[in-house]
Structure 1
Amino acid sequence: MKSIQKPIVIVGAGFAGMTVALNLKNLNPSLPIVVVDSASNFIFKPLMYEVLSKEISIWEATPKFANIFSDAGITFLKNCLTKISFKDNILEFSDELKLSYQYLVICTGSIPNSFLIKGVGENCYFFNDLNDLNKLKSVLKKSQKTSYHKKLFIVGGGPSGIELACKIKDIFKDQFEINVIEKSNEILNRNKIFNREQAERALEKRKINVLLNSTVKEVSESKISISSEGGITSLDKDIVIWNAGVTANLSYLETDEIKRKYGRILVNKNLQIENQNNCFAIGDISIIEGMEDLPLTAQVAMQEGKHLAKNLELLFQEKDPLPFEFQDNGEMISLGIGEASIAAIGITLSGKLAFEARRLIYASKLPDINESLKSASSWIFQKKSIFKKFLKKNNFN
C-alpha cells in the first residue's frame, strides 16, 4: 500500500467530483480527501426545471457542500482555482492559498458556449447554475405583469431547451409565444427515438414553434437574427434563453499546458491526463481517447467518478488501473408540469407515471444527507428508500 503524505485533491464538486469523493472515501475511509469548489451548494441540474415550476423546493435540488462532505469525513474548501503547477504538484487559488496534492482530480464542469456570436453574453439568459435560475425566474415573473404573447426564443433543441420550453409554457400559459431554434433537422438529435417522439408531441400539444435547420447570427436588445435556408431573418424578441451548447471551464490552465481535443482535456481510458500519472480529469471538461462520442451528461460524469474512485484505490494498492467502460442506462426528460418521458434498458414510459418515476430515480441519486434534513418533510426524500430496490432491479445505478 502506498503511503499518502499529501491529500487527494478534487477540484469541482458537480456530479463527477461529488461521486469520486464519496465513493473513494467509502472505499478507503482513512484517505485524506480535500474537495474544492467555487460555490457553496451542489446543484442537481436535472431538477432545476422543477425548481423553476415550483414542483419542488430549491433546497431539495441544492444541498450545501459543507453538510454533504462533513458528514462523510471529507474536507471542503470554498475557493476558486487560478493555476495548476503540475511540475510541483501545487494548486493556486484566488485568495492566494496554495495547496499541495499527491493525486489531483479536476472536474470543474462546463459553462455556456456563446460561439462568439455577437450579443449572446449581453442579451441572453442562461440556465446553467443558481444565479442563472434566479435571473430567469425574475425576468419571467416581471414579464408576466405586462402584455400577453411576448416573444420568447430558446436557442438549442437539446434536452435542456425542450424541458425549459415545456415548463415555461405550462407555468405561464399564453403569456409567451415560445420558439425553439435548433441548428439540425430535428430536436433531441442525440437522444433516444422514443423520447424524441414524446417531446415532439409535447411541443405540438403546447403549440410551441420549432425552427429547424436554423442558427443564430446575432442577438440585439430587441431583435434576434436567424439564418436558415431562406436566408437571414431579423425577428422581434422579448426574451432569449441560450441553451445552444457548453464549453469546458478551464480558465486556470495555460494554453499549451496539457493536451486538449475539441476544447476539452484529453485523457486515456484510465481517465489519466497524458504525461501526468497522478492527475485525472473527468466530467464535462474531459474527453476520453477513443470514446469521443460520449455525451456530456450526469450519467457519464457519475460513472466516471465511480470508476476513478476504484482506479485510485488500485493505485494506492500498487495495482494497475482499469479502463473505463460506459454503460448506457437510458435517459429521462421532463416534458412540462407533471409529465416526462423515460427510455431506459427495456423500458419506455411517458406521461404522469414517467414523471413520478423520474423524480424518484433522481431522488436516489441525490447525496444522502437525510440527517441534515430531519426537520423537513420533503416528499422526494420520504420516497427515496422505497425506490432503491426498484432502481437496483432495473439497473438505474
Structure 2
Amino acid sequence: MKSIKKPIVIVGAGFGGMTVASNLKELNPSLPILVVDSEAKFIFKPLMYEVLSEELSMWETAPEFSNIFSNLGITFLRNCLTKIRFDEKILEFSDDLNIGYECLILCTGSLSSNFSVRGVDENCYFFNNLNDLKKLKSFLQKFQNDKIKKNLFVIGAGPSGVEIACKINDIYKNKFDISIVERSNEILGRNKIFNREEAEKALEKRKINVLLNSTVQEISDQKISILDGSEIKDLDQDIVIWTAGVKPNLPYIDAQVTQKDGRILVNENFQIDNCVNSFAIGDISIIKGMEDLPLTAQVAMQQGNHLAKNIELLFQEKELLPFNFEDNGEMISLGIGEASISALGVTLSGKFAFEARRLIYASKMPDISKSLKSTASWLFQKKSTINNFINKKP
C-alpha cells in the first residue's frame, strides 16, 4: 500500500462528510483523517421539525462533533476554510492556519438562496440550522397567547416547506393563517406521487392555503408582494419563512476548477479535474452525466460510502469504481405524529409511517454519542411493532 505522510482532510461534516469519514476509518483504521467544519455540532435536519414541536429535544438530534469523531479515532478541527492551494496541496483557514493534505474531500453542503428577491434576508426566517430553529421558535412563541390570528407565509412547497407548515399548524392551533407560496403548478414537484398526494390531503385537512403558480417579488417588514399570473398582490404578513431553495456553500475555488451551475464539476469517481487526489461530494458537487441527482441526505450518504471505498482503492493503487445512485425512496413528516413514506415499493402514511420514519432516521444517525444512543433507544422500542407489520405484508 502507498505510504501516507499527510492526513486525508475532509472539509464539511454533514451527511456526506460524516459518512465518508466513518466508513473510511472502518475500512482502514491506520489512515490519518482530519475532519474540519465551521460548526461545533452535527445537524440532523430531517428531525429538526420534531425539535420545533418538542417531540424530540435539541440535544438528542445535535451531538457535538468532538464527541462523534473522538469515539471514531478521527481528529476534528473547528475552523473555516478560506482558500485551497491545489497545486501545493495546502489548505488555508481563517486564523492563518495552513494544513497540507495527502487527499482532499470537499463536502461543505449548501446555504439558503434568496434568488435575488428583495427583502428576503432582512425579513424572512429560515430553517437550515440550529440558530435558525431557535430564532423561529422564539418568534412563534410570542403569539402563543394572541387571540387574533396572524398571517404566516411559507415560501416554497418542497419537502421543507410542506413539513414546516404542517408542524406549525399542529403546534400553534388557530394562531396562524398559513399560506404556502409555490412558483410551479404543484407541491412536491420532484417527489414521489404517493407522498405528494398524502401531503395534499394533509394540507387540505389543516386548511393550509396553497398558492400555486405564484412568484414572490418582494418582502417588506409588513407585506409580501406576489405575482399571480399577470397580477401583483400585496398581502399583509406577520411572519415569512423562506424554504424556496439552496445554493452550494463553496469555499474559495481558483480558476482551475471547473464549475457547472455554481457547483464543482466532478467525474463519476467524484474526482475534481486537474486536481490530484481531490474530490467533492454532496450539494457542492455535480457529476458529469448525473446532473439531475437530488440534493438530499440520501444522495450525500451514498456518495460518502462509495467515496470511502474509492479512497481505499486509491491508496492500494487500484482502479476507482464509478458511482451509481440507488433510489431507496423518501419520507416526509406531515404534522405531529403523522408522516408519509414511499420506499422500495412500499407506501405508508399516518401514525405508523411517522414511527417508521423516526426509526429509520435513528438507524442512519452516527450512533456513537450519548445523545444519539438516547434517541435510538427510545425509537427502537417500536421495532417489534414495525417488524410484525412488515411480516404480515403479502
CA distance in 1, matches of 2:383, 2:327: 20
Deviation of 1:188 (Å): 0.2
Partner of 1:363, secondary structure, is helix
Q: Which ranges of structure 1 fall in alignment gaps of 5 or more residues?
A: none
2:179 equivalent in structure 1: 179
1:81 equivalent in structure 2: 81
CA distance in 2, matches of 1:257, 1:135: 40
Q: Can you list the C-alpha shifts for 1:123-159, whole angstroms capped at 9, x where unaligned?
A: 0000000110011001101122334310000000000
157-166 vs 143-152, which deviates more? 143-152
Aligned-partner residue type, residue 21 of structure 2: A
CA distance in 2, matches of 1:205, 1:285: 37
CA distance in 1, matches of 2:165, 2:371: 32
Deviation of 1:262 (Å): 1.0
Partner of 1:240, secondary structure, is strand
Query: Which aligned pairs between 1:272-351 and structure 2 lie closer than 5 A?
Result: 272-351=271-350
Deviation of 1:216 (Å): 0.5
1:193 equivalent in structure 2: 193
267-276 vs 161-170, which deviates more? 267-276
Deviation of 1:373 (Å): 4.6
Aligned to 2:377, which of 377, 381, 388? 381
Deviation of 1:60 (Å): 1.4
Deviation of 1:383 (Å): 3.8
Judge conservation of contact 1:217–1:227 (CA < 8 Å) in 2. Answer: yes
Distance 1:379-1:32 versus aligned 2 partners, 3 A rule:
closer
Aligned-partner residue type, residue 274 of structure 2: N
Judge conservation of contact 1:359–1:380 (CA < 8 Å) in 2. Answer: no
134-143 vs 7-16, which deviates more? 134-143
1:24 equivalent in structure 2: 24
Deviation of 1:387 (Å): 4.7
CA distance in 2, matches of 1:312, 1:270: 10
CA distance in 1, matches of 2:145, 2:381: 42
The reply to whether residue 265 of structure 1 matches residue 261 of structure 2 is no
CA distance in 2, matches of 1:345, 1:112: 30
What TM-score, normalized to structure 2?
Answer: 0.95
Q: Which ranges of structure 2 fall in alignment gaps of 5 or more residues?
A: none
CA distance in 1, matches of 2:378, 2:56: 13
Query: Which aligned pairs between 1:1-397 and structure 2 lie closer than 5 A?
Result: 1-254=1-254, 256-370=255-369, 372-373=370-371, 378=374, 380-384=376-380, 387=383
Judge conservation of contact 2:358–2:379 (CA < 8 Å) in 1. Answer: no
CA distance in 2, matches of 1:180, 1:113: 17
Query: How many equivalent residue pairs?
Result: 388
Judge conservation of contact 1:272–1:281 (CA < 8 Å) in 2. Answer: yes
Q: Can you list the C-alpha shifts for 1:83-128, whole angstroms capped at 9, x where unaligned?
A: 1100110111111111100100000000000011100000000000
Partner of 1:276, secondary structure, is coil
Which runs of at least 4 in structure 1 moved beyond 6 Å after TM superposition?
none
- Aligned-residue Cα RMSD (Å) equals 1.7
